[in-house]
Amino acid sequence: MDERLERYVTGLFAAEDPALAAIRARHAEAGLPPIHISADEGKFLQVLLRAVEATTVLELGSLGGYSGVWLARALPPHGRLTTIEKDPRHAALARRAYAEAGVAAKVRLIEGAALDALPALSPGFDAVFVDADKEPQAQYFDWSMRLLRRGGLLLCDNAFFHGAVVDEADRSAEAEGVRAFNRLAATDPRLVATVVPIRDGVVVGVKVGA
């Protein structure tokens, strides 16, 4: 997208409040990898969650809490975001972010590897947002489909993986993981999905079959 149009969309539809701006600034100051979602992507996710009247959301990969604030703010007061983060330092920053943004009461943060934590969760989530390490993406797809309710949303960041998905020379485990997730999302008969070209691409799917 033309950068002027990006600025227009963000400024009009997804302007950050002071809490979100502070979280993003702290993210940079702490030297976390620059992989958090953008503000326009956060607003896009909010709109999707509101559309399905989500009350329970699962996020794989909390990072510094920026995306979690966008997700939690889309939920009603009794809603719950369950987010999983394996890095203790990132988890601490995320908890601070949730508290400062006023959403801590709606967030349950689980510290540990996602593949260790997922088997203990109960099915029935209204949405799953996958934004974690890329190599095990196929496994994340499988668990997401198990845990989603019918009619629920499957959302995944970095569908383009910075262009690597169409770079035939890139056979890294991370690129192959993203390709595998995309293929599964495109072909699984239980899911109707597409990719929306916001930022680095977002997979958006609706679970239509058990």
Q: CATH code at 195?
A: 3.40.50.150
Q: What domain range includes position 200? A: 3-207
Task: Using pLDDT thresholds of 50, 70 and 90, give the confidence band for residue 25.
Answer: very high
Q: What percent of the chain has pLDDT over 90?
A: 91
pLDDT value of residue 100: 95
Task: Using pLDDT thresholds of 50, 70 and 90, give the confidence band for residue 1.
Answer: low
Half-sphere exposure of 165 (CA within 13 A, CB side): 16
The DSSP bridge partners found for residue 205 are 154, 193
pLDDT at 34 exceeding the cut of 80: no
pLDDT value of residue 36: 85
- Total of domains in the chain: 1
More confident of the two residues 26 and 193: 193
The 148-157 sheet, strands edge to edge: 107-111, 80-85, 56-60, 125-130, 148-157, 202-207, 191-196
| CA pair distance 203, 73, nearest whole angstrom | 21
Which one, of 196, 145, 209, 207, lies nearest residue 43 by Cα?
196
pTM of the full structure:
0.95
More confident of the two residues 199 and 148: 148
Q: Are 107 and 75 in contact (CB under 8 A)?
A: no
Q: Are 185 and 155 in contact (CB under 8 A)?
A: no
Beta-carbon neighbour count of residue 134 at 10 Å?
20
Burial 4-25, CB ≥16 within 10 A → b, else e = eeeeebbeeebebeebbeebbe
Q: Which amino acid is at 25?
A: A
| CA pair distance 70, 68, nearest whole angstrom | 5
Task: Using pLDDT thresholds of 50, 70 and 90, give the confidence band for residue 30.
Answer: confident
Q: What is the pLDDT averaged over residues 51-69?
A: 97
Beta-carbon neighbour count of residue 167 at 10 Å?
12
Q: What is the pLDDT averaged over residues 16-40?
A: 89
Q: Are 201 and 195 in contact (CB under 8 A)?
A: yes
pLDDT value of residue 61: 96
pLDDT at 207 exceeding the cut of 70: yes
pLDDT at 32 exceeding the cut of 90: no
pLDDT value of residue 128: 98
Q: What's 135's DSSP letter?
A: T
**What rounded mean pLDDT belongs to the chain?**
96
pLDDT value of residue 91: 96
